[in-house]
Structure 1
């Protein structure tokens, strides 16, 4: 993704502090494993609070970006479901199946999960007690909320992105490897840090 110092002003102080002083405990690292539905509901809740509609395309890209940033910062997956390279960018299949009925319209319902133990449907959310994950999600939302789903789709299609080096039109469900996602987003974060230190220098 191409970034410039003026693109995400709210993010610069956060990353400087986060990467230089914050340490993840072993417990926090183990607590990183959620489902895509947990992460989707964070963004859907924020969108509802701010009156900012989120389509499926935008939600897919926000969840993917959050996964990439968390993986780069912690070395741990935010959730276990693989991310696939589809025609319009990275896709989490379970979210696609759940929200495809909305088409290009704003999503009007939260993501749900079915509990086989008690046969109840729940709306999973990241607990407020998980300050590390919440902090990452807060900053992803602050940085990318103003972009449309199509704009985020275009960013994932830029040369050298994990999607661009994985996508094969003949193999729709090809998984984007963590080994490709992590260094890419580490570089994105590093460019943000470099831009913060040298405001006059644009990140490529």
Structure 2
């Protein structure tokens, strides 16, 4: 397709602009960005992800079962943080997206809305029941379960084993790492982010390659 010729008047204006010193160009309607402290390099990552498609509620139930075997309790806050660390580590370390569920930046850290609302009646008390979902096939509520691969379960265990002895408050602090995914969304100056979504691209661009177990970076 042939390019449309530039209007002579516009071409003349562009030529005059090119000859002007930078300090004489009026940029008041589009001020220059001088603070790049919170810029995100690699925000639009081209990393190819292997998508598992697991229901996040099934991952939550698997975690609750695994912790129960070790006689460890989980609260709403700690459960959401453990799921997030699996989600984050899967993306960063394995380039695997374990669940299509959206992770959001809430006051106490990353949260999966489906999980939060399913166990919110527990408040900060230990979760004893398992999370259910509606089964179209059975036309009733059933426990959320998935057939996880052995490799994925081994990875889940490795992440949970790293964090199983942390309190909910400690997990919250770790998820609040300065300049990390949650921090960037929570403190963002962007005009709007419906749902305060912590995007996959943001996690890949700003999550640490490996989180220290004591929460320091």
DSSP 3-state at the match of 1:54: coil
Is the 1:72–1:185 contact (alpha carbons within 8 Å) kept by the matching residues of 2? Answer: yes
Task: Work out the CA distance in 2 between the residues paired with 1:156 and 1:55.
Answer: 16
Q: TM-score, normalised by structure 1?
A: 0.72
Tell me the CA shift for residue 186 of structure 1: 5.7
Shift of 1:185: 4.3
The answer to whether the 8 Å contact 1:168/1:174 transfers is: no
Partner in structure 2 of residue 134 of structure 1: 153
How many residue pairs match? The answer is: 165
What are the within-5 Å matches in structure 2 for residues 1-204 of structure 1?
29-30=50-51, 32-127=52-147, 130-167=149-186, 173-185=195-207, 187-188=209-210, 204=217
**Cα separation, 1, equivalents of 2:110 and 2:163:** 16
Paired with 2:135 and 2:114, the residues of 1 have a C-alpha distance of 15
In 2, Cα distance between equivalents of 1:50 and 1:62: 15
Q: Which runs of 5+ in 2 are unaligned?
A: 1-49
Larger Rg, first or second structure (1 or 2): 2
CA apart distance, 1:42 = 1.3
TM-score (norm 2): 0.68
Shift of residue 38, structure 1, vs aligned partner? 1.3
Structure 1 residue ranges without an equivalent (≥5): 1-28, 193-202
Deviation of 1:152 after TM superposition, in Å, equals 0.5
